């Protein structure tokens, strides 16, 4: 579905970022990988190249103007075109009540979750307009609840959703689509580690905890990274050529929206 396209993925890690990169390559795209951890980028770039597609790993601090501009320069010079930008990078502020959270921590969350996504989208807009490409913002199911301690995180993710919707209106005349994917639980390394910690605290097994959470989801299981990446792939592809300004929830039925 992405034959000979070029996809840029920010915030590439071992979970969803890796899955998006590999799904893009398996669908025919060359991939530009951006994150701070150079060793991780090299590992995932090697996996992409084993699919037969090209990979460019660019160590990047997306909260820094010069570093972000260098990413755009490297991507366009190496591939000559950009078809998709996936803003996958995120930061979770401390899980503290809004009445107590340090405002500096709230600002830091906005720097990564909102301002960096706007920065990259603006920088890549000329190339995306040339290819009539698309942008996908990775959001979170935190949009759908108001659980205590998640207030600062929800603030930034709600702002990211508003950003995506407004950009869809602004960039639509240039032929650029902007959409959002909002995952719930993703059964990857980070969540497994979290479950391990919580299970130990409660004196239960990780499987006990998994079963307890899964029982609250319509499908009775937690989504895997590849399943969320498939939703991203749909929005990147020509199958979604008339879809923009949309938020697609991928949560195995945790919330209905």
Q: Catalytic residues, which ones?
A: 153
CA quadruple 207, 212, 213, 215: dihedral sign: positive
Structure tokens at 130: 């040339």
**Segments in the chain forming alpha helices (H):** 16-26, 38-49, 65-79, 103-110, 116-131, 151-171, 189-202, 206-214, 225-236
CB 151 within 8 A of CB 98: yes
Alpha-carbon distances of 120 from 69, 72, 135, 158, 186, rounded to whole Å: 8, 8, 10, 18, 25
147 within 8 A of 95, measured Cβ to Cβ: no
Name, in order, each residue with C-beta under 8 angstroms of 148's C-beta and a sequence gap of 6 or more. 97
Provide Rg for the chain, Cα atoms. Answer: 18
H/E stretch holding 257 reads none
């Amino acid at each position: 579905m992405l034959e000979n396209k070029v996809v840029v993925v920010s915030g590439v890690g071992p979970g969803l970022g890796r899955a998006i990169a590999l799904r893009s390559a398996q669908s025919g795209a060359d991939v530009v990988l951006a994150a701070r951890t150079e060793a991780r980028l090299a590992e995932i770039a090697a996996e992409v190249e084993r699919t037969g597609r090209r990979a460019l790993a660019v160590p990047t601090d997306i909260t820094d103007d010069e570093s972000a501009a260098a990413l755009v320069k490297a991507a366009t010079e190496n591939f000559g075109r950009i078809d998709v930008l996936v803003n996958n990078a995120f930061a979770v502020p401390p899980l503290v009540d809004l009445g107590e959270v340090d405002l500096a921590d709230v600002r830091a969350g906005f720097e990564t979750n909102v301002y960096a996504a706007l920065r990259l989208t603006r920088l890549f807009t000329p190339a995306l307009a040339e290819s009539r490409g698309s942008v996908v913002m990775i959001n979170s199911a935190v949009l759908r609840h108001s659980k205590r301690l998640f207030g600062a995180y929800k603030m930034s993710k709600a702002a990211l959703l508003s950003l995506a919707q407004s950009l869809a209106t602004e960039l639509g005349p240039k032929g650029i689509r902007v959409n959002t994917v909002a995952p719930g639980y993703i059964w990857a390394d980070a969540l497994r580690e979290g479950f391990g910690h919580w299970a130990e605290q409660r004196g239960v097994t990780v499987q006990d905890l998994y079963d307890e959470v899964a029982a609250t989801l319509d499908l009775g299981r937690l989504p895997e990274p590849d399943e969320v990446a498939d939703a991203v792939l749909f929005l990147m592809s020509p199958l979604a050529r008339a879809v923009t300004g949309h938020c697609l929830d991928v949560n195995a039925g945790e919330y209905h929206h």
